[in-house]
Amino acid sequence: MNGQDREVLLEVSGLTKHFGKNEVLRGIDTTIYRGEKIAVIGPSGSGKSTFLRCLNRLEEPTAGAVLLHGEDIVTTKKINECRQKMGMVFQHFNLFNNLTVLENIMFAPVKIGKARLKKRRAAARRLKIRQFFGKDRDRQIETGPSLAQLEKEAKDHAFELLELIGLADKASAYPSTLSGGQRQRIAIVRALAMKPEVMLFDEPTSALDPEMVGEVLELIKKLADDGMTMVIVTHEMGFAREVATRVMFMDGGKICEEGPPEQIFGAPKNERLREFLSKVL
Amino acid sequence: MLFFQQIWQAISTQKYILLFLEGFKTTLIIAVGASVLGLVLGTLVSVVKIAAQRNRRSVLLRIPEFICNLYVSVIRGTPVALQLFIMAFAILAIRGFPLELTAILTFGINSGAYVAESLRAGIQSVDLGQTEAARSLGLSEAQSMFSIVIPQAIKNVIPAIGNELIALLKETSIVSMVGIVDLTNAAKIIGAGNEMATYLAPMVVAAIFYLAVVYLLIFAVRAIERKMKQSEQHIDEKKAEKCRVRMEKRMKAIEANYQKEQLRRKSA
Ligand SMILES: Nc1ncnc2c1ncn2[C@@H]1O[C@H](COP(=O)(O)OP(=O)(O)OP(=O)(O)O)[C@@H](O)[C@H]1O
Ligand SMILES: [Mg+2]
């Protein structure tokens, strides 16, 4: 577990968030390497969700930086491009109620692909006009796949993902007709449809009936085994112990202790962590 | 008995019925034109208001937000008859400017303010998680607003918007005050004529026209509401069948590919 030879994916430094006078994050520093599975644990109100939501700027940080491949998410103008590389899964699933399961999964890839295609076509048109006047003769712009191709690819990918979770027969159902476990698994593959480099989970099983927790954790585990980088806020200590490569204990808006699960659960040093573990284990 | 005779006279005399139909047409044109304008304006205004509210830091949105707030409060705070007079006798008092167009603009601008408020409430009633999910996938604010939030908001506000359009249809009757011959004015003209010599019968006929359209609208709104509820609660059988067929095809293709692969391996 030597950090030097691994690729840095996210570099968080001095991350601070205030809600009015309430200091929820008080300077978080950490580096997330590709392939890491990080479990974030801590008491309620310690700022875990806020930390996760600052990573993709769903919450505007008050200060600090979050570098994704060197681009600062906090100040970037291309926040949408950055978010496409980071999938997020919410406690309450947040599937789009007005779309079917298939449409939920295809929606973002098609919409974003379309916008990109439009942009490229406009650029190609402008170039053509310039070339007509004898400029930039040697340049060329690839417009990429056509709209039909784009849609077909997205559809095939969506079906592949649905097959992965065994819900292909629900492709044309609306979210309101599905169970919580099914909804959450679909929410996970919806995020995967954008082919993200890192997945952020905010208590993905907290809103589920106990009998459905297993199927969702199993899917997350499968992703972990496939090498996906992930940050999971969770109260499932057993799961954290089993899947995480690093556990982060947060309290009072700070990372109090972090390390491999054996250390955190086996030999906790921090007093607050020991107290927390004695309550939840 | 005389009353029914008069009603019969009002709808059987060609001169009268033509005038009724002419007035009815004018009423419909004004109502439909104003509805379209109102819906477009209302959507724009509500989106601006919500966008400004969600991006408090953006100075750029402050000015349009101020204009929208001013628009909504002025329109909702003054009588529509006064608005019509101001438009017809002051702002658009241009020789040759069609009065019907003035009416469409007035009522469109008027209902736009009411639609905006309904729609804004509807947008706010859509769970913020829907927007967050869309944004977390990398969609822009506009994309998530127009493709995810507004369709759901519209579903929530269809009853309110339906009521607004019904109210609009009835309110158009005040255009008679600026001399437009709409349904109400047609009834008045007929009633004032020497042959009829009563207002009651033609007014009742006009009322029946209004009632018919209002009931049609009520039924339409209910049908749309029912349709929308259904589509989200049940699996669309046709769509499901299509998906099943697709799936089978795909599985077959995968199978065929696999067989080919196996054959190639064997021969190699
Ligand atoms: N939008 C907000 N506005 C104001 N205060 C907020 C907001 N979101 C969170 N907070 C506050 O920030 C603090 C930390 O919240 P956060 O949701 O990050 O905690 P958490 O560790 O995720 O807790 P839990 O385990 O209950 O989910 C809480 O005190 C909460 O009241
Ligand atoms: Mg939380």
CA distance B151 to B155: 6
Report how far ligand 2's centroid is from the alpha carbon of B167 (Å). Answer: 46
Question: CB neighbours (10 Å) of residue B197?
Answer: 10
pLDDT exceeds cutoff 90 at B74: yes
* pLDDT tens readout for residues B78-103: 999 999 999 999 999 888 899 999 99
Whether A98 and B151 lie within 8 Å, measured CB to CB:
yes
Closest to A191 measured CA to CA, from A68, A64, A82, A105: A105
Q: Identify all chain B residues contacting A100, using CB atoms and an 8 Å cutoff.
A: 236, 239
Contact criterion met (CB < 8 Å) for A83 and B233: no
Q: Is residue B124 part of a domain?
A: yes
- Flag whether B169 is in a domain: yes
**A235 and A121 Cβ atoms separated by less than 8 Å:** no
Asked whether the beta carbons of residue A84 and residue B137 sit closer than 8 angstroms, the reply is: yes
Ligand nearest to the CA of A45: 1
Give the nearest ligand 1 atom to A59 CA.
Answer: 1
The confidence score (pLDDT) of residue B237 equals 64
Residue with tokens 């994704």: A68
Instruction: Look at A38-47, A74-83, B55-64 and tell me which has the smallest mean pLDDT.
Output: B55-64
pLDDT in tens, A221-260: 999 999 999 999 999 999 999 999 999 999 999 999 999 9
pLDDT in tens, B158-192: 999 999 999 999 999 999 999 999 999 999 998 88
Gap between the Cα atoms of B191 and B139, Å rounded: 61
Residue type, B27: T
What's the token pair of residue A264? 């955190």
Model confidence at B198, pLDDT cuts 50, 70, 90, reads confident
Mean pLDDT of A58-79: 94
Q: What's the start-to-end Cα distance of chain B, in Å?
A: 102
Q: Is A27 helix (H, G, I), strand (E, B) or coil?
A: strand
Q: One-letter amino acid identity for A267?
A: A
Cβ A45 under 6 angstroms from ligand 1: yes
Residue by residue, DSSP assigns B114-165 as: HHHHHHHHHHHHS-HHHHHHHHHTT--HHHHIIIIIHHHHHHHHHHHHHHHH
Q: What gap in Å lies between CA B250 and CA B267, rounded to an integer?
A: 26
Count of CB atoms within 10 A of residue A61's CB?
A: 24
pLDDT confidence of residue B236: 57
For CA atoms B73, B79, B84, B87, give the dihedral sign: negative
Strand ranges of the sheet holding A63-68, from the earlier edge strand across to the other edge: A22-33, A8-19, A63-68, A71-72
- Measured over the CA atoms of residue B116, residue B121, residue B123 and residue B128, the dihedral's sign is positive
Which pLDDT does position B255 carry in this prediction? Answer: 67
Residue nearest to atom 2 of ligand 1 (CA): A19
Does B107 score more than 90 pLDDT? Answer: yes
Average pLDDT over residues B13-19: 89
Q: What is residue A165's predicted lDDT score, i.e. its pLDDT?
A: 94
The residue that leads in pLDDT, B194 or A40, is: A40
pLDDT band at B233, cuts 50/70/90?
Answer: low
Residue A136 has a pLDDT of: 77
- What domain range is B143 assigned to? 2-224
Domain annotation covers residue B81: yes
Residues in B touching A90 (Cβ below 8 Å): 129, 132-133
**What is the domain count for chain B?**
1
Looking at residue B3, what is its pLDDT? Answer: 84
With 0-12 CB in 10 A as exposed, 13-18 as middle and 19+ as buried, what is A278?
A: exposed
Q: Which ligand is nearest to the CA of B132?
A: 1
Q: Tokens at residue B43, please?
A: 């959507």
If one residue of A15, A40, A49, A249 were mutated to test the ligand 1 pocket, choosing by the most ligand atoms within 8 A of its CB, it would be A49
Q: Is the pLDDT of residue A5 over 70?
A: no
Residue B248 placed within a domain: no
Q: What is the mean pLDDT of residues A201-211?
A: 94
Asked if residue B258 belongs to a domain, the reply is no
What is the pLDDT at residue A32? 96
For A90-117, give the DSSP string. Answer: -TT----TTS-HHHHHHHHHHHHHHHHH
Listed range (A94-98, B128-132, B196-200) with the worst mean pLDDT: B196-200
The CB of A234 under 6 Å from ligand 1? The reply is: no
* Predicted local confidence at residue B258, as pLDDT: 67
pLDDT band at B256 (very low <50, low <70, confident <90, very high): confident
CB atoms under 10 Å from CB of A205, counted, come to 24
Is there an atom of ligand 1 within 6 Å of A19 CB?
yes
Lowest mean pLDDT among A141-145, B130-134, B204-208: A141-145
Q: How far apart, in whole angstroms, are the C-alpha atoms of residue A11 and residue A67?
A: 5
Question: CB contacts < 8 Å between A and B, how many?
Answer: 95
More confidently predicted of A62 and B11: A62
- Report the distance separating Cα A167 and Cα A178, nearest Å: 10
Q: What is the ipTM of this complex?
A: 0.91
Report in angstroms the alpha-carbon separations of A201 from A93, A103, A211, B18. Answer: 10, 22, 20, 69
B259 inside domain: no
Interface test with B, best of A82, A93, A96 (most B CBs within 10 A): A96
Radius of gyration of chain A (CA): 21
- Residues of chain A with Cβ-Cβ distance to B152 below 8 Å are 97-98
Residue B120 lies in a domain: yes
Q: Is B143 left (phi over 0), alpha (psi -120 to 50) or beta?
A: alpha
Query: Residue B197 sits in a domain of what CATH number?
Result: 1.10.3720.10
With vertex at residue A208, the alpha carbon angle to CA A207 and CA A213, rounded to the nearest 5 degrees, is 130
Does B251 map to a domain? no
Scanning A100-170, the segments in alpha helix (DSSP H) are: 101-132, 147-164
Question: Could A83 and B136 be called an inter-chain contact, meaning their C-beta atoms sit closer than 8 Å?
Answer: yes
pTM of the model: 0.81
Which segments of chain A are extended strands (E)? 8-19, 22-33, 37-41, 63-68, 71-72, 86-89, 198-202, 229-233, 246-251, 254-259
C-alpha A18 – ligand 1 centre gap (Å): 11
Distance (Å) from CA A233 to ligand 2 centroid: 8
pLDDT above 80 (res A143): no
Cα A257 to ligand 1 centroid, rounded to whole Å = 20
pLDDT tens digits, one per residue of A89-130: 999 999 999 999 999 999 999 999 999 899 889 988 888 888
